[in-house]
């Protein structure tokens, strides 16, 4: 789509929802977000009949675009990606557009990177950017495209007009109960039970896109979507939340009664043959929330025997600088409690954060070794200056050779895993891209 008018001036009498195809480029790690958008379209009575497809490769997307465009449909292609994939996604978009000009195809990008770097994303070739939460944006956009109405004033959309960016703010914060986490037909996956995060860690994009407060899906609503999964034969159930033991609370203190209400209802729903995974992928647990009482509660209901703990650093200075809000001692204590209560702790460590000096990195490496010798597994990461975060203008991760050797040794011993080496390269790319845009 080269000009917005080429779609909005189409004869509305020839437009109906059946004349609009939505293609979601279904690539990880953006699939969970695309599930939510597809669910939003399916749940609205006006857009429920739209043809939605989920091509998973560039070749499949190209074929689906050509098929839909040749039928004189309006084709909306949805993309969701994180900052590390921006360069590769831009290349894929350029390749698609070079394959043939389709004036009735609109490419819209959403997610944390597109929201934080809207102009950059548009200048890479995307026609539209959905800023912030996308459920209401995608529904309104689909409705207007289907009837040939103007789209430039939709709240949350950004676009280029005569080479200059036009922004319409951000999409409204939604109530999770108002939208399903996935469509009932097609792609399904983990259920998002909490959106937003009060902790606002300075390296994380989540609270700066969805605001620094918790919004929880209700227990009844969660169970409803679990039953949807059960209806298609699923026996494994996972949940998306920035902080698993924060369900039901508005502040830093866990509400174990709310968590028990949720887990008890889930266990009753799925029965003895259902497998509940909580506090593990794709979510985590904050170390200060781990207590014997909390873990005994989990053990009553969940099937996972491991937990992911956001430890991040063995240096209190680095933790404080990143706004983590917990102590090094809390990480050590959490690991010991996990082991005592029969859970294997997987502890995230983030090396190369702003303000980290050699002695801080060495303290993290020492803590990683000590925890692994107790029985934990260490998940190693490298800091990346992600757009939209308070640390976005900081330098790329630098990890001293002595610390690198220790991380390699931990990995060779089976005590650690992770992609910190690849993330260092991505960190360099992000910092260079930021310098180039200034």
Q: Which two tokens stand for residue 219?
A: 């227990």
The string of pLDDT tens digits covering residues 58-115 is: 999 999 999 998 886 799 999 999 999 999 999 999 999 998 778 899 999 999 999 9
CA atoms within 13 A on the CB side of 264: 7
Whether the CB-CB separation of 423 and 381 falls below 8 Å is answered with: yes
Q: Is 304 helix (H, G, I), strand (E, B) or coil?
A: coil
Q: Comparing C-alpha atoms, which of 334, 65, 31 is closest to residue 187?
A: 31
CA atoms within 13 A on the CB side of 103: 9
Whether the CB-CB separation of 362 and 356 falls below 8 Å is answered with: no
What domains appear along the chain, each with residue ranges and CATH number?
5-167 (3.40.50.280), 190-303 (3.30.750.210), 305-438 (3.30.750.200)
Residue 7 confidence class, pLDDT cut points 50, 70, 90: very low
Give dist(CA 248, CA 155) in Å, integer. 29
Q: Comparing C-alpha atoms, which of 339, 281, 277 is closest to residue 308?
A: 281
Q: Where do runs of H (alpha helix) occur along 155-232?
A: 206-210, 219-231
Q: Comparing C-alpha atoms, which of 286, 332, 341 is closest to residue 308?
A: 286
pLDDT at residue number 18: 58
pLDDT at residue number 15: 43
Residue 185 confidence class, pLDDT cut points 50, 70, 90: confident
Q: Which two tokens stand for residue 407?
A: 């991380």
User: What is this structure's pTM?
Assistant: 0.92
CA atoms within 13 A on the CB side of 276: 22
Indicate whether 9 pLDDT > 50: no
Q: Comparing C-alpha atoms, which of 325, 333, 329, 352 is closest to residue 407?
A: 352
């Amino acid at each position: 789509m080269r000009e917005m008018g080429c779609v909005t001036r189409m004869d509305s009498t020839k437009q109906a929802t059946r004349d609009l195809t939505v293609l979601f480029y279904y690539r990880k790690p953006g699939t969970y977000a695309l599930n939510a958008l597809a669910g939003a379209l399916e749940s609205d009575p006006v857009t429920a009949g739209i043809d939605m497809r989920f091509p998973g490769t560039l070749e499949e997307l190209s074929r689906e675009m050509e098929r839909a465009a040749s039928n004189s449909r309006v084709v909306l292609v949805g993309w969701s990606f994180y900052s590390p994939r921006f360069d590769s996604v831009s290349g894929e978009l350029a390749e698609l557009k070079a394959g043939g000009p389709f004036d009735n195809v609109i490419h819209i990008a959403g997610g944390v990177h597109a929201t934080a770097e809207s102009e950059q994303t548009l200048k890479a070739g995307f026609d539209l950017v959905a800023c912030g939460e996308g459920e209401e944006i995608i529904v309104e956009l689909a409705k207007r495209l289907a009837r040939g109405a103007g789209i430039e004033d939709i709240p949350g959309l950004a676009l280029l007009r005569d080479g200059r960016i036009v922004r319409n703010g951000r999409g409204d914060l939604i109530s999770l109960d108002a939208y399903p986490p996935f469509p009932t037909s097609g792609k399904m996956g983990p259920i998002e039970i909490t959106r937003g995060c009060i902790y606002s860690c300075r390296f994380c994009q989540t609270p700066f896109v969805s605001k620094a407060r918790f919004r929880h899906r209700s227990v009844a609503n969660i169970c409803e979507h679990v039953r949807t999964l059960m209806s298609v034969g699923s026996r494994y159930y996972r949940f998306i939340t920035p902080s698993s033991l924060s369900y039901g609370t508005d502040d830093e203190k866990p509400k174990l009664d709310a968590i028990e209400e949720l887990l008890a209802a889930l266990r009753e729903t799925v029965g003895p043959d259902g497998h509940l995974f909580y506090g593990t992928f794709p979510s985590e647990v904050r170390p200060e929330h781990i207590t014997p009482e909390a873990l005994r509660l989990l053990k009553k209901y969940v099937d996972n025997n491991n937990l992911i703990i956001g430890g991040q650093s063995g240096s209190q200075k680095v933790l404080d600088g990143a706004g983590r809000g917990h102590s090094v001692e809390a990480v050590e204590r959490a690991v010991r409690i996990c082991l005592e209560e029969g859970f294997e702790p997987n502890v995230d460590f983030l090396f190369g954060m702003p303000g980290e000096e050699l002695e801080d990195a060495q303290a993290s490496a020492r803590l990683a070794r000590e925890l692994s010798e107790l029985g934990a597994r260490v998940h190693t990461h490298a800091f990346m200056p992600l757009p939209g975060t308070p640390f976005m203008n900081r330098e790329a991760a630098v990890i001293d050779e002595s610390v690198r050797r220790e991380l390699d040794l931990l990995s060779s011993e089976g005590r650690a895993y992770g992609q910190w080496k690849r993330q260092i390269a991505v960190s360099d790319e992000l910092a260079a891209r930021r310098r180039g845009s200034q």
